[in-house]
Amino acid sequence: MTTHTKNEEISEKPKDSTLDKPNLKGDWLNFYFLILIYTFQGTTTGLSYAFPIILQNTKLVTYNDQAILSFVLWPFSFKLLWAPVVDALYLRWIGRRKSWYIPIQLLIGILFLIFADNIDNWLPVSGKPNLNMIVCVLFLINFLAATQDIVVDSWALSLLKKNNVSYSSTCNSTGIAFGLYIGSVCPILLSSEYFCNKYLRFTPDEGGILTIRSFLLFWGIVFVFVTILIIFKKERNSELKEDDDQIKIDIIQSYKMLWNIFKIKHMKLLLMAILTSMIGFCTSESVTNLKLIDAGVSKDDIMVITTAMFILKMCLPIFVTKYTTGPKPISLYLKMVPIRLAWGTFFAVLIYYTPNVIQNYGHLPVYYYLVMGLVFAVNRILAQIMVTCMIAFFSRISDIRFGGMYMTLLNTVRSIGWVIPNTSFLKMVDTLTFNSCSNDVQNSCSTPDLENICSLNDGNCETIVDGYYVEVVMCLVIGFIWYAVYKRHLKFFESKDRSHWLLDLNRPGNV
């Protein structure tokens, strides 16, 4: 842990360039370059968000299958295990970050091409999809993307000038959002016959304007081509001193440094707050779209709404930058928490009334889509402000000399706090749902065989308790408990000087 006397801290503050007012003059090219590489990163992850919607629409998968599919995002939660290796091993003549970025992106491009070659067999037009192969390929792609995430987050700390480091959160939020849109929304909408005939064609035709196979093939080629161009990109900002970003340590020392980050005063409590910060939002974020499809909303209509949400997601960071690059991003984050928790209940109300609206009108009227768009838009605005604030705080406290490990530690803990509850709540939907046969109360309809027996006896399986609504209440309670417990602690962490979070290299055993 870095230790300073009060006078030392005062004397150091004027010299710390991170305290200078952010100014992107001379840094605009690096700013746009970061948005580009974050976009590619978001595109790979976006596929993992597209396939749950695609599979749910087939009506041949259960929520348990969806939980299995959600495991493809788990590499982002465990990338901390190999982050010290990424920080320690590199070829100096290529560059500390490009040594990893270039081969990883090439491999991702190749995997896209392999995926494209097999997708028609793994995802047939009729019949049950080959879930095992889809999960395996997406898991491998996300493993590479998670490793790339380590590289890009640390590269962002050294590529921008020190006084502009907070802008890395804007690059992250905007680029990832654009990439997620490309990877998740485009393959669904552009391969949909309904959407293309309704919105993109003058004359109706069969099929979409592209297939999932052609989408994967195109982006596989783009990934390979852009990677070749990145070879010529200068890696480091000329204003960084050699000892800021090129402290040479071996793998063992790198893991020791990671452990020393854990030992920084207040770090464990901060990590616990980050780890549990997303539980209150899991049901509204991960289950809502699937429940809307079950309630009768088409996947294409949901994707149209999602498209508008991605536009918000891409633009919002630019408008909130002046707040997130200021001295108190966590204060803004905390203001959003109770509002977003309460707003999540509107999703439950929307889902509850959707079948009634369809029954009354025979279809979903225009006003329904306006209401749905409003509910989604407010939630997305709140969520995006919170993400940008949190990443800005991470960038501010991270030690640039060990950016790969430091940023990866913070982002990994945040990712674990998302994917594990996400998977858990998806699996619990079926567990917390209780059904009964309409003409046999002893038949719980809990298995396909019991459902068949009910059907053979001219009965219907009726839902008595929907696990989704149980989870909504659970998340709401957990979320407000988290807010009450950690609000004071997070404000205290925000007030600490940046030097509090830096590693002291003069301390015995830290190098």
Distance between CA atoms of 326 and 262, rounded to whole angstroms? 26
Q: Is 194 helix (H, G, I), strand (E, B) or coil?
A: helix
151-164 b/e (C-beta count within 10 Å ≥ 16 → b)? bbbbbbbbbbbbbb
Its pTM stands at: 0.68
- pLDDT of the residue at 217: 93
Place of tokens 């596929």: 47
Question: For residue range 381-416, what is the model confidence (pLDDT) as tens digits?
Answer: 898 888 888 888 888 887 777 666 787 788 888 888
Residue 16 has pLDDT above 50, yes or no: no
Q: Give pLDDT, residue 247.
A: 54
Contacts of 482-485 with CB under 8 Å at 24 or more apart are: 482/276, 482/277, 482/279, 482/280, 483/280, 483/334, 483/337, 483/338, 483/341
What is the structure's pLDDT at 22?
60
Q: Which residue has the higher pLDDT, 280 or 432?
A: 280
pLDDT band at 240 (very low <50, low <70, confident <90, very high): very low
Does 340 score more than 50 pLDDT? yes
Most confident among 205-209, 257-261, 335-339 (mean pLDDT): 335-339
Residue 144 has pLDDT above 90, yes or no: yes
Q: Would you say how long the chain is, in residues? A: 511
**Cα–Cα distances in Å, from 355 out to 53, 152, 467?**
19, 45, 17
Q: Which residues lie below 8 Å from residue 103, measured CB to CB, with a gap of 6+?
A: none
pLDDT confidence of 5, banded at 50, 70, 90?
A: very low
Question: For position 185, what pLDDT does the model report?
Answer: 81
Q: 404 and 87 in contact (C-beta within 8 Å)? A: yes
Q: What percent of the chain has pLDDT over 90?
A: 21
Residue 324 has pLDDT above 50, yes or no: yes
pLDDT bin (cut points 50, 70, 90) of residue 111 is very high
Per-residue pLDDT for 300 more than 90?
no
pLDDT band at residue 249 using 50, 70 and 90 as cut-offs: low
29-33, 64-68, 495-499 — most confident range: 29-33
pLDDT of residue 202: 81
* pLDDT exceeds cutoff 90 at 341: yes
Whole-number average pLDDT of the chain: 81
Distance of CA 371 to the CA centre of its chain: 25
Residue 322: band (very low, low, confident or very high) from pLDDT cuts 50, 70, 90:
low
| Residue 307 C-alpha from the chain's centroid | 16
pLDDT of residue 336: 93
Confidence category of residue 333, pLDDT binned at 50, 70, 90: very high
Give the whole-number percent of the chain exceeding pLDDT 70.
Answer: 87
What is the tens place of the pLDDT at every residue in 418-457?
Answer: 888 888 888 888 788 888 887 777 777 777 777 788 877 7
pLDDT the model gives residue 479: 94
The pLDDT of residue 280 is 92
Which is more confidently placed, 484 or 329? Answer: 484
Residue 196's pLDDT band (boundaries 50, 70, 90)? confident
Q: Which residue has the higher pLDDT, 378 or 177?
A: 378
